[in-house]
Amino acid sequence: MEKAAQKVSSLLSGVGIPIASLMRQAYLSQLDVDSISCRPVPSACRSGALPAPVTPDRSGCPGPRAPPYRVDGARQTDQSAARGAALPTTATTARPGPAGPGTGLGPQERRVLAAVGCGLRDDEIADALGLPEERVAEHLARVLAALGLRDRAAAIVHAFDAGLVAPGRGPRTGPVHRPAPPVPAGGRSRSPELRISVLGPLRARLDGRPLSLGHLRQQAVLAALALGAGRTLSRRELLDGVWGTEPPAANVVPVYVYRLRRTLRSDGGPDPVIEHGPLGYRLVPGAVDVDLARLEELLAGIGAADRAGDPAEGVRLCSRALELFRGEPLEGLPGPLAELERLRLGRRRTALVQRKAEWQLGLGRCAEAVAELSALSGEHPLDEPVAALLMRALYRTGRQAEALRVFDRVRRRLADDLGVAPSMLLRRTRRMILCGDEAGLGRPAPADAAAPLM
């Protein structure tokens, strides 16, 4: 068996594939940063030595292995270390340099690296180690420089690879002492309210308090989960939706999910709001209030009002739905998924304004329709159905000249930008205004009605 292993190793080395790199990739593919937990730091760590790395035994459960490094970073000469090179210890792209997690680090830097791997913030590390927070930041900067790591996320994965943290149920060695949440007068505790908004720049609030969601790619991962409406998304779906054809070199999705779980979990909250299962990740149903779900409920009510012939109720529900939009949906977020959702949700908002304006014109509330249609036409100067609705609303308020100026403006933009003439809808609306056909402008033909909302 040993001869066969040596033969495979020599073959892989002959084609330029380090056996240690393959072993590490196979090991990392089974790990998930969102299930990291810290092991208790043994006395050896306090004296400067690293705790033993964790390797699966034959049953698949993690078990201790003799540490391949001593305090000074030198390699031990035990039998297991002599058989082959140590595994690389970062999740970043491979590069030459020291492989040992303790190389060039002092005892304090090693303790800080272990705490970072546990997912602790700088203030929590300062409390645990009895250091000023500024000193913690200095130690972390030295750790990143000594190990050639890019950022804190790479340090977390490095600490995981080095055996400083292990799979488990949570990221801490013990309970964190926090004040208990206040209990209402009735004596029954209330679940914290977590709201996520995608109908504008991505926002998250916990009991009304805004949360910092990290950098844009991490926000895009949360947006994908929020748009999934409780559906499980695999890592591949998240990679395709957030990075497209340029996936990251490292497996950063678990790191981002781990960070988001910490951010979205309330003080003392027992459960994360992001579930991980065999098929991927999802937001726990009922744990998060996403504004897109409220929009879907309002759209169902708008459809019911339309079928019931109740324009006043339709206008009210359209107003409530439009209030959910706080600007361009998912503004600034990268990735193919965010781009597609921006287009889809933007069209839905346009259809809502059109449907509301139709009902307002039927109810004689033309001045209200003019205000919203003017703003929408400014945002979409080439949208002919919106321009036609605005022309009708202006004509119904006695502003015939302004209605004709809208036609001329759109005609010029179409010719300059697209090289096309106005559509039949816009020309017919202009002709009706010139002829004073009040009946023809009262309600459009079915083919010209607003776009469907769903």
- Per-residue pLDDT tens over the stretch 347-400: 999 999 999 999 999 999 999 999 999 999 999 999 999 999 999 999 999 999
- Asked whether the beta carbons of 182 and 309 are under 8 A apart, the reply is no
What is residue 453's predicted lDDT score, i.e. its pLDDT? 62
What is residue 383's predicted lDDT score, i.e. its pLDDT? 93
247 and 349 belong to one structural domain: yes
- Asked whether the beta carbons of 389 and 354 are under 8 A apart, the reply is yes
In a domain, 158, yes or no: yes
Mean pLDDT on 132-147:
85
Q: Which amino acid does the sequence have at 316?
A: R
Side-chain half-sphere exposure of 166, counting CA atoms within 13 A: 16
338 and 426 belong to one structural domain: no
Expressed as residue numbers, the domain containing 379 is 368-454
348 and 411 belong to one structural domain: no
284: tokens are: 């726990």
Nearest partner of 129 among 109, 151, 147, judged by Cα: 109
Long-range Cβ contacts of 325-329 (<8 Å, 24+ apart): 325/199, 325/200, 325/349, 326/197, 326/199, 326/200, 326/201, 326/203, 327/200, 327/201, 328/200, 328/201, 329/198, 329/199, 329/200
329 and 376 belong to one structural domain: no
pLDDT tens digits, 144-189: 888 878 788 778 877 766 666 654 434 444 434 444 445 445 444 4
219: tokens are: 């926000």
454 and 440 belong to one structural domain: yes
In a domain, 12, yes or no: no
Distances (CA, A) of 73 to 45, 49, 53, 208, 245: 13, 9, 15, 48, 40
pLDDT tens digits, 58-108: 444 444 443 443 333 333 333 333 333 333 333 333 333 333 444 568 888
In a domain, 147, yes or no: yes
81 and 115 belong to one structural domain: yes
In a domain, 209, yes or no: yes
Mean pLDDT on 423-441:
83
C-alpha triplet 207, 208, 212: angle, nearest 5°: 95
385 and 448 belong to one structural domain: yes
Radius of gyration of the chain from its Cα atoms, rounded to whole angstroms: 30
In a domain, 22, yes or no: no
CATH number at 433 reads: 1.25.40.10
What is residue 129's predicted lDDT score, i.e. its pLDDT? 84
| Beta-bridge partners for 183 | none
85: tokens are: 């090179």
| Beta-bridge partners for 209 | 206
- Asked whether the beta carbons of 89 and 53 are under 8 A apart, the reply is no
88 and 214 belong to one structural domain: no
- Asked whether the beta carbons of 216 and 334 are under 8 A apart, the reply is yes
Most confident of 70-74, 252-256, 308-312: 308-312
355 and 390 belong to one structural domain: no
Percent of the chain's residues with pLDDT above 90: 39
CA–CA separation, 82 and 98 (whole Å): 17
In a domain, 356, yes or no: yes
282 and 196 belong to one structural domain: yes
In a domain, 111, yes or no: yes
* pLDDT band for position 439 (cuts 50, 70, 90): low
- Asked whether the beta carbons of 53 and 67 are under 8 A apart, the reply is yes
Of 99, 132, 167, the residue at which a domain comes to its end is 167
| Number of independent structural domains in the chain | 3
CA–CA separation, 1 and 425 (whole Å): 80
116 and 200 belong to one structural domain: no
Q: Which amino acid does the sequence have at 232?
A: T
17: left (phi over 0), alpha (psi -120 to 50) or beta: beta
CATH number at 340 reads: 1.10.10.10
Of 312, 346, 363, the residue at which a domain comes to its end is 363
Place of tokens 């000469």: 77
pLDDT tens digits, 36-65: 444 444 444 444 444 444 444 444 444 444
The DSSP annotation for 200-247 comes to SS-EEEETTEE----SHHHHHHHHHHHHTTT--B-HHHHHHHHHTTS-
pTM reported for the whole predicted model:
0.58
314 and 408 belong to one structural domain: no
Of 339, 363, 387, the residue at which a domain comes to its end is 363
Distances (CA, A) of 101 to 52, 75, 229, 231, 377: 12, 11, 41, 39, 60
Least confident of 120-134, 154-168, 350-364, 409-423: 154-168
In a domain, 172, yes or no: no
- The phi, psi pair for 132, rounded to 5°, reads -65, 150
